[in-house]
Amino acid sequence: MMMMMMMMMVIIIRSLTRLRFLRFGNPALEELRRGDLAGVRQLDQLEVYGNNLKRYDPGSLGDLWPLGVVTLHLRGPFQDNLTLVSSILHDVCYPETFLVVVDVLLTETNSVAPFSETNQRRVRSIMFQNATLTDEAIVHFLEVCHVHRPAVQMQDLNLTSFSQKENNHAATRNVN
């Protein structure tokens, strides 16, 4: 039943060649394959709800250009599959793209490694929204984006600091 619904969705999306805003995904979205969005071009805004995304074929979102605003909900992939996140960022990031990363938990240095794609693709603006970041992750993010440092915005952010002097006692501060 689920497979049939996905096939119907693909057929409908392929006929939407003049579409400018696309929001798709849900908790059941586990894969995005090349060709699923065939026919969709030149979106102004793309929002992907892929918190449980387990498989992504590189290039699946690569033909959706130019993209003005890209909003990614990728909590699960940021925890479990950084290669998948890197592939998505490679496909949707351009200098003129305003990237919004929502509902993520970035706690270690390797959790921000996919943002090297935003650096290579010269993304100028990134917003973290409703996210949790540690001081370690923020420092590594700045290191990863050292060449083409984007403007960074933070909204509803939970900043957590782990200090070795405090014996790994966590101090938490909410930023709005």
| pLDDT exceeds 50 at position 134 | yes
**pLDDT at site 170:** 47
**pLDDT at site 32:** 94
Q: Pick the residue with more confidence: 128 or 169?
A: 128
Angle, CA 108 vertex, CA 175 and CA 160 arms, to 5°: 25
**pLDDT at site 55:** 97
Q: 49-83 in b/e burial notation, b at 16+ Cβ within 10 A?
A: bbbbbeebeeebbebbeebebbbbbbbbbbeebee
Instruction: Kindly report, residue by residue over 42-94, the tens digit of the pLDDT.
Output: 789 999 999 999 999 999 998 887 889 999 999 999 999 999 999 999 999 99
Pairing of strands 169-175, 151-163: antiparallel
Amino acid at 104: V
Question: Could you state, in order of their start, the residue ranges of all structural domains in the chain?
Answer: 2-175
CA distance 150 to 25: 27
CA distance 14 to 9: 9
Worst-scoring range by mean pLDDT, 33-42, 85-94, 102-111, 162-171?
A: 162-171
| pLDDT exceeds 80 at position 22 | yes
Residue-averaged pLDDT of the chain: 85
Q: Is residue 65 within 8 Å of residue 93, measured between CB atoms?
A: no
pLDDT above 70 covers a percentage of the chain that reads 82
Work out the pLDDT band at 171, boundaries 50, 70, 90.
very low
Q: Which two tokens stand for residue 78?
A: 């940021």
CA distance 90 to 94: 9
Topology of the domain covering 2-175: 3.80.10
